[in-house]
């Protein structure tokens, strides 16, 4: 969809009319409006289907073609805008509702600032949409100075952050509005960006200032006595939740202990400053224009050159840091361990809980198995983090650790496994020849192979017997009659309330060409990630379209992995206990449907897990192998667009479900595709203000 359709959409028509109290009535998918051109006050204007165009049905409408858009309503409602041109009003609506769409004016503004970034040596990092979370792992050490990359990120709806170290810049984040008067005259004429709650002051990097936080808080008790606290990490409980003083706003109340006495206090004033400056242990990044955080777009309030921090401002900050500079997480933990005093909490929310556990897990992974590392990290998380990370985040850390453990030897280990799959068994010398040919290996190269073999033995991928190595192959027996019946410990996206799903299940989703199977597949991965499930995505088509969609959806490197090269379905080896999404099976392969599904059934028996397979449908919407398609899967369904739809509205049509939990078989699940965010949602899961009224959300098969 073009930017005009997105900005002038029906959703924004509803939002605007509600905000400015313009007459509107919703009837299902039809919007009735007061025509801005007619003199009478009847609801003669209609917006039907999915278009942003509004038609007046009155035969007396004076407008020449009786068609208009939200632009006409803005001119009617806001008198000061009646002479604005169309593009200016579109930009106004876009900014009013923070719509994620690029207008010509946005593109021009971005080019101007990207030229500024290039001139000043900015290195940016990709950030999740409407968030501050980096997408890349180890982003601190990755340089991105190519503007074509930045433009692609923005095109895909991502935010961008300034990598302070790679850019040789330092940012003083004033986390309050307005800038305190005691600071205002010290900051100098440098580049300033406005955020939702404060301002970012840009300076050239100065290693004399550490990455830290400054907090000074004046609290008043019920007797009118003031209490001054100079610690942003001072523990409090706010709205029933453990947090710190830095989270309080003016007027907020909390209980604190003063001289062993509990007192109810109110926040009177504060000073909150974050110094974002990279050091040897921690990176620093700050989200910058044209990013949107908390539905507020960052914007620069001047175009000044970036200067060195003025001497007086530097001295001011150093005086505030004084002896209470907040140490890094590593320093805190080292000191606590040294003193053998585990005083909770060690690491507060927003202070790098994730990065600390990731670094520690990487160290442990060199000596311990995955299960041992998980046990250690889960325990450590409870000790050092306040609040502890959710298990979903712990799993993401462990998955990331697995990807980066033995990075130098991983490719070598995979080569050894691939060779053993071909020959069944081999000696160390056979493996050396398979990898290096007949060339004589240097001691260092031979040592690498020996280490890779030792690692594979430790992880029980291979075993040795009589000087020969072979893959671990064994039948797994069990007498467990209860655990096997357990449902999946997460909700299966889109279908969770239809039936009972278990490990080793196969789900099949069919769609005709051009329907958007990859969008659905990546939406499933996103919904799984939100539940803490790390997925494996197998793309059986060329190109990187799935990567673009993943970025648009806000997925990061910690959410899923994907294959780097084409795989024959019959050669796909599933990961153990994993959720795998295959996108998609080619029609030419359906003559081997029984072999493909038999292969995957064996893989699931061997490795456990859940498998979701997308398949191509014929143009008439039927399966290429209809008789075989329902034998193995626990659920088989198709996805279609609604008649006349541009892709916004569609539905899943259920063909088979092995174990339904409904009295009546559900046959249709209406969905809506959000063009701005690329999300596909069930219409009954939309937020209340997005619900389509008077419409049957879930369609059940009629009772006979």
CATH of the domain at 239: 3.10.330
Measured torsion, CA atoms of residues 518, 523, 528, 532, in degrees rounded to the nearest 10? 110
pLDDT at 589: 54
Query: Quick one: 571 and 559 in the same domain?
Result: yes
| Percentage of the chain modeled with pLDDT above 90 | 31
pLDDT at 385: 80
For 121-148, how does the pLDDT look when each residue is reduced to its tens digit (9 = 90+)?
Answer: 999 999 988 888 888 878 888 899 999 8
| Confidence check: pLDDT of 697 > 50 | no
**Could you tell me the maximum CA-CA distance found in the chain, to the nearest angstrom?**
96
Residues 6+ apart with CB under 8 A from 127: 133, 134, 135, 158, 159, 160, 161, 285, 287, 291
Query: Quick one: 204 and 216 in the same domain?
Result: no
The predicted model gives 21-25 an average pLDDT of 90
| Neighbouring-strand partners of residue 535 | 560, 579
Query: Quick one: 375 and 389 in the same domain?
Result: yes
Query: Quick one: 148 and 17 in the same domain?
Result: no
Whether residue 510 lies inside any domain: the answer is yes
| Neighbouring-strand partners of residue 229 | 217
pLDDT tier for residue 119 given thresholds of 50, 70 and 90: very high
For 427-484, how does the pLDDT look when each residue is reduced to its tens digit (9 = 90+)?
Answer: 888 888 887 776 677 777 788 888 888 888 877 788 888 788 888 765 555 554 444 4
What secondary structure does DSSP assign to 263-276, as a single string? EEEEEEEEEEEEEE
pLDDT at 195: 93
Query: Quick one: 267 and 398 in the same domain?
Result: no
pLDDT at 322: 59
Query: Quick one: 10 and 60 in the same domain?
Result: yes
Query: Quick one: 508 and 580 in the same domain?
Result: yes
| Percentage of the chain modeled with pLDDT above 70 | 85
pLDDT at 179: 93
Q: Which of 471, 494, 513 lies at the terminal end of a domain, its last residue? A: 471
CATH of the domain at 464: 1.10.10
Whether residue 479 lies inside any domain: the answer is no
pLDDT tier for residue 353 given thresholds of 50, 70 and 90: confident
pLDDT tier for residue 366 given thresholds of 50, 70 and 90: low
Whether residue 317 lies inside any domain: the answer is yes
pLDDT tier for residue 492 given thresholds of 50, 70 and 90: very high
Lowest mean pLDDT among 227-241, 507-521, 588-602, 611-625: 588-602
CA distance 98 to 279: 35
Whether residue 587 lies inside any domain: the answer is yes
Query: Quick one: 237 and 380 in the same domain?
Result: no
| Confidence check: pLDDT of 266 > 60 | yes
**Of 118 and 512, the one with more pLDDT:** 118
For 377-400, how does the pLDDT look when each residue is reduced to its tens digit (9 = 90+)?
Answer: 888 887 788 778 887 788 778 776
Q: Which of 74, 96, 118 lies at the terminal end of a domain, its last residue? A: 96
pLDDT at 108: 92
Q: Which of 32, 61, 96 lies at the terminal end of a domain, its last residue? A: 96
pLDDT at 370: 66
Summary mean pLDDT of the chain: 82
Residues 6+ apart with CB under 8 A from 36: 68, 72, 73, 75, 76
| Confidence check: pLDDT of 527 > 90 | yes
Range of the domain at 161: 104-211+277-323
Yes or no: say if 653 and 668 are a contact pair by the CB < 8 Å rule.
Answer: yes
Query: Quick one: 190 and 314 in the same domain?
Result: yes
Whether residue 414 lies inside any domain: the answer is yes
| Confidence check: pLDDT of 507 > 90 | yes
**Of 50 and 273, the one with more pLDDT:** 273
CA distance 353 to 380: 11
Yes or no: say if 559 and 534 are a contact pair by the CB < 8 Å rule.
Answer: yes
From 18, 16, 9, 1, select the one nearest 81 (Cα to Cα): 16
Q: How many domains does the chain have?
A: 6
Whether residue 222 lies inside any domain: the answer is yes
Per-residue b or e along 56-81, where b marks 16 or more CB atoms closer than 10 Å to that residue's CB: bebeebeeeebebbbbbbbbbbeeee
pLDDT at 603: 86
| Confidence check: pLDDT of 408 > 60 | no
The predicted model gives 3-9 an average pLDDT of 89
Residues 6+ apart with CB under 8 A from 519: 549, 673, 678, 680
Compute the 3-state secondary structure of the chain and give helix, strand, coil in percent, each to the nearest 5: 35, 25, 40
Whether residue 477 lies inside any domain: the answer is no
Residues 6+ apart with CB under 8 A from 324: 230, 231
Number of Cβ within a 10 Å radius of residue 481? 7
CA distance 435 to 420: 12
CA distance 59 to 54: 15
The predicted model gives 631-653 an average pLDDT of 86
Instruction: Pinpoint the alpha helices (H) of 340-384.
Output: 353-365, 370-384
Query: Quick one: 125 and 198 in the same domain?
Result: yes
The strand order across the sheet containing 67-68 reads 24-27, 30-33, 45-47, 54-56, 67-68
CA distance 485 to 209: 58
* Phi and psi at residue 478, to the nearest 5°: -155, 150
Quick one: which H or E segment has residue 417? Answer: helix 407-423
Per DSSP, which regions of 444-568 are E strands? Answer: 462-465, 468-471, 506-511, 535-539, 560-562
Yes or no: say if 614 and 639 are a contact pair by the CB < 8 Å rule.
Answer: no
For 44-96, how does the pLDDT look when each residue is reduced to its tens digit (9 = 90+)?
Answer: 888 876 788 899 988 888 888 888 999 999 999 999 999 999 999 999 999 89
**Of 700 and 188, the one with more pLDDT:** 188
| 7 three-state secondary structure | helix
Quick one: which H or E segment has residue 152? Answer: helix 147-155
CATH of the domain at 588: 3.40.50.300
pLDDT at 89: 94
For 280-333, how does the pLDDT look when each residue is reduced to its tens digit (9 = 90+)?
Answer: 567 899 999 999 988 888 999 999 999 999 999 999 999 988 544 444 444 444
pLDDT at 459: 74
Number of Cβ within a 10 Å radius of residue 622? 12
Q: Is 568 exposed, middle or buried (0-12, 13-18, 19+ CB in 10 A)?
A: exposed
From 164, 275, 141, 271, select the one nearest 210 (Cα to Cα): 275
Query: Quick one: 194 and 229 in the same domain?
Result: no
Question: CA triplet 613, 617, 618: central angle to 5 degrees?
Answer: 160
CATH of the domain at 59: 3.90.580
Instruction: Pinpoint the alpha helices (H) of 265-327.
Output: 311-321
Measured torsion, CA atoms of residues 433, 434, 439, 440, in degrees rounded to the nearest 10? -40
Query: Quick one: 218 and 192 in the same domain?
Result: no
β-pair type (425-426, 468-471): antiparallel
Number of Cβ within a 10 Å radius of residue 247? 17
| Confidence check: pLDDT of 566 > 50 | yes
pLDDT at 337: 46
Helices (H) and strands (E) counted in the chain, each on its own, are 20, 35
Quick one: which H or E segment has residue 506? Answer: strand 506-511
| Confidence check: pLDDT of 498 > 60 | yes
CA distance 680 to 241: 33
Lowest mean pLDDT among 41-50, 117-126, 165-174, 482-491: 482-491
Instruction: Pinpoint the alpha helices (H) of 537-685.
Output: 545-552, 593-607, 626-629
Whether residue 385 lies inside any domain: the answer is yes
pLDDT at 687: 53
**Positive or negative CA dihedral for 241, 244, 247, 253?**
positive
pLDDT at 234: 82
| Confidence check: pLDDT of 338 > 60 | no
């Amino acid at each position: 969809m073009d930017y005009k359709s997105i900005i002038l959409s029906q959703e924004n028509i509803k939002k605007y009319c509600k905000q400015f109290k313009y007459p509107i009535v919703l009837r299902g998918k039809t919007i009735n409006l007061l025509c801005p051109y007619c003199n009478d006050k009847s609801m003669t204007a209609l917006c039907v289907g999915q278009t942003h165009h509004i038609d007046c049905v009155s035969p007396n409408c004076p407008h020449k073609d009786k068609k208009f858009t939200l632009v006409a309503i803005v001119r009617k409602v806001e008198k000061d805008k009646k002479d604005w041109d169309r593009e200016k009003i579109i930009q106004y609506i876009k900014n009013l509702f923070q719509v994620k769409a690029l207008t010509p004016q946005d593109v021009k503004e971005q080019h101007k600032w990207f030229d500024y970034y290039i001139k000043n040596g900015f290195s940016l990092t990709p950030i999740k949409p409407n968030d501050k979370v980096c997408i890349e792992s180890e982003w601190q050490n990755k340089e991105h100075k190519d503007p074509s990359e930045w433009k692609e990120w923005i095109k895909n709806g991502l935010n961008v952050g300034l990598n302070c170290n790679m850019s040789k810049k330092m940012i003083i984040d004033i986390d309050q509005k307005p800038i305190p008067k005691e600071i205002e005259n010290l900051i100098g004429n440098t580049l300033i960006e406005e955020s939702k709650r404060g301002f970012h002051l840009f300076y050239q990097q100065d290693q004399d200032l550490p990455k830290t936080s400054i907090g000074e808080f004046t609290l008043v008790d019920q007797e009118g006595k003031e209490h001054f606290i100079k610690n942003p990490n001072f523990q409090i409980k706010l709205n029933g939740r453990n947090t710190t003083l830095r989270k309080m706003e003016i007027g907020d109340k909390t209980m604190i202990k003063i001289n062993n006495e509990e007192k109810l206090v109110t926040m009177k004033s504060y000073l909150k400053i974050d110094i974002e400056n990279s050091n040897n242990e921690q990176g620093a990044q700050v989200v910058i224009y044209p990013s949107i955080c908390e539905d507020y777009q960052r914007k620069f309030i001047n175009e000044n050159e970036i200067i060195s921090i003025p001497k007086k401002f530097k001295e001011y900050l150093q005086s505030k840091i004084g002896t209470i500079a907040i140490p890094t997480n590593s320093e805190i933990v080292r000191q606590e361990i040294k003193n053998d005093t585990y005083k909770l909490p060690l690491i507060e929310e927003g202070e790098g809980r994730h990065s600390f556990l990731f670094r520690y897990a990487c160290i442990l992974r060199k000596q311990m198995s995955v299960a041992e590392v998980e046990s250690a990290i889960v325990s450590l998380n409870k000790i050092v983090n306040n609040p502890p990370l959710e298990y979903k985040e712990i799993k993401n850390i462990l998955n990331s650790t697995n990807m980066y453990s033995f990075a130098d030897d991983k490719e070598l280990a995979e080569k050894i496994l691939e060779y053993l799959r071909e020959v069944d068994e081999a000696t160390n010398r056979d493996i050396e020849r398979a990898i290096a040919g007949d060339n004589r290996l240097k001691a260092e190269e031979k040592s690498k192979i020996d280490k890779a073999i030792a690692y594979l033995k430790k992880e029980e991928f291979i075993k040795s017997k009589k000087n020969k190595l072979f893959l671990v192959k064994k039948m797994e027996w069990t007498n467990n009659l209860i655990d096997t019946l357990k449902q999946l410990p997460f909700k299966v996206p889109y279908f969770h309330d239809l039936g009972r799903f278990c490990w080793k299940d196969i789900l099949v989703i069919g769609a005709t060409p051009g329907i958007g199977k990859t969008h659905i597949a990546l939406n499933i991965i996103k919904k799984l990630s939100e539940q803490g499930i790390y997925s494996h995505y197998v793309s059986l088509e060329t190109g990187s379209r799935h990567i673009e969609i993943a970025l648009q959806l806000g997925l990061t490197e910690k959410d899923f992995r994907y294959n780097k090269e084409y795989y024959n379905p019959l050669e796909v080896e599933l990961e153990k206990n994993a959720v795998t999404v295959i996108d998609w099976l080619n029609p030419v392969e359906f003559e081997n449907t029984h072999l493909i599904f038999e292969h995957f059934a064996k893989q699931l028996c061997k490795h456990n897990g859940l498998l979701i397979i997308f398949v191509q449908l014929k143009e008439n919407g039927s399966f290429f192998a209809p008789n075989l398609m329902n034998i193995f899967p626990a659920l088989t369904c198709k996805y279609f667009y609604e008649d006349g739809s541009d892709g916004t509205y569609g539905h899943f049509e259920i063909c088979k479900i092995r174990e339904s939990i409904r009295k009546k078989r559900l046959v249709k699940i209406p969905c809506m595709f959000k063009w701005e965010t690329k999300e596909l949602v069930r219409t009954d899961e939309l937020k209340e203000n997005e619900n389509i009224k008077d419409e049957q959300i879930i369609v059940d098969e009629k009772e006979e």
